[in-house]
Structure 1
């Protein structure tokens, strides 16, 4: 199992060290394409960070030609935003859990929001309203699990297995409001089709499921 740093360690993404370099068994360029997709996501996100929320007229007059700092969040050039942070949370969950675990995904989104997990700056400086509300609702619902399993601290409730969570009938993992139709689920989606590229039907199924835990509107799920 690949071990990622604990959120409490405050390790910035570029300082994460792998205990063991993964062995790739693909004989073609599949692995390079997967890596390129994630790196491209981060680069595109960082390119647009300096002009996020700018009007179209501004973008037309000031086209992006290189990495620049500043913008709404005053970021250094090359720093990514919530798009990449959430995608990395999702990717790390798929890898560490060896598959789709919606509870672990929500835990990692909570870690990002609360501790800056996989943030390019070490803290969460930007989060959509729907995502924020979903994470807040998730934290409230975790109290049910904490009481039932007599968890002594946050770490114990965060590391419950998905099988343990599913046994609790009054705990529901979908925390999004049915009117939440923002793009927060879509912008983090890339790891799902990359992880399930061999089984397109699962990629489609889990793409929808990954959206529904924070954005319950059918428009967001179908996107």
Structure 2
């Protein structure tokens, strides 16, 4: 009988992989295309010519992090797993890499030359794609009971292996803080409000990010400042939500889908049908929706075709054993 912790980890990993796999066949296709032909089930082939149930780099790198946690979290170990994935197809659905982000590939090449994992991630203004956000979720299982400053430090470490800019780090941190409150039993609305309170207070008291950077999160944090009228994220229309590869847009889209819909199925399909970076938006919200609605809410027919499902379930069990709450 799985423990409560194992059940949560399974739901997170399977939910993320399912959301990713739903998006893979239609990645890079427009929102207009999804209006005409919405995704309603697990498709095959399409953009990457992969069988139904195939997940991408989002889930692969998530599983690399989970593997590192299962063996005792270590940045050097995580870096080796990223290299092994990139070069040899480790933790891929079918033995080879078919999708990789530019910033992630560049960071892994730096790791291969011996650059420290604390220095390998891009830190420029243009290094803010969603490549660390898409893989960060397992970190919540080892950080959820730590003080907030330690939770932030861990987030900074893991994000910075590929994405070291404070914007990417803060996006990952916001995501994990919401996931944390979901794991601790809050409703999604309560979790969102608690996350806002925690993040706003942390940013003010620590000065971890400039005011200009914090303002970039105004839709999510609802932080008031002169000249800006606060609107709740849920008040934005579908047309006002961007679903491209910019890290803040991915987080906004994922949170919008979570807050505006009431089942796992509705939530992940809403994400994928926003178009553009469909696999990542699906993965990011799929992990949260898995935690919130549980594995039982994921359609059996989707799980039945999910690549390497037994391996994912075994990984969840090994992470839970290592953490042994």
TM-score normalised according to structure 2 size: 0.49
Structure 2 distance, partners of 1:218, 1:44, is 26
Aligned residues: 168
Partner of 1:115: 88
Q: 1:182 aligns with which of 114, 129, 141?
A: 129
Structure 1 distance, partners of 2:146, 2:118, is 24
Q: 1:106 aligns with which of 79, 95, 100?
A: 79
Contact 2:79 2:117 in 1 (8 A): no
Higher relative contact order (CA 8 A, sep 6+): 2
- Any stretches of 5+ residues in structure 1 without a counterpart? 1-22, 143-170
Higher helix share: 2
Q: 1:194 aligns with which of 121, 141, 150?
A: 141
Structure 1 distance, partners of 2:37, 2:154, is 38
Cα deviations by residue, 1:182-209 (Å, 9 ceiling, x for unpaired)? 1000000111002333336344331221
Q: Secondary structure at the match of 1:176?
A: coil
Q: What RMSD in Å do the two structures reach over aligned CA positions? A: 1.8
Partner of 2:36: 61
4+ residue segments displaced more than 3 Å: none
Q: 1:210 aligns with which of 138, 153, 158?
A: 158
Structure 1 distance, partners of 2:9, 2:48, is 29
Structure 2 distance, partners of 1:172, 1:207, is 13
TM-score normalised according to structure 1 size: 0.70
Deviation of 1:130 (Å): 0.2
Give the direction of change, closer, same or farther, for the CA distance of 1:50–1:172 in structure 2 (3 Å limit): closer
Structure 2 distance, partners of 1:174, 1:71, is 37
Segment drifting more, 196-205 vs 119-128: 196-205
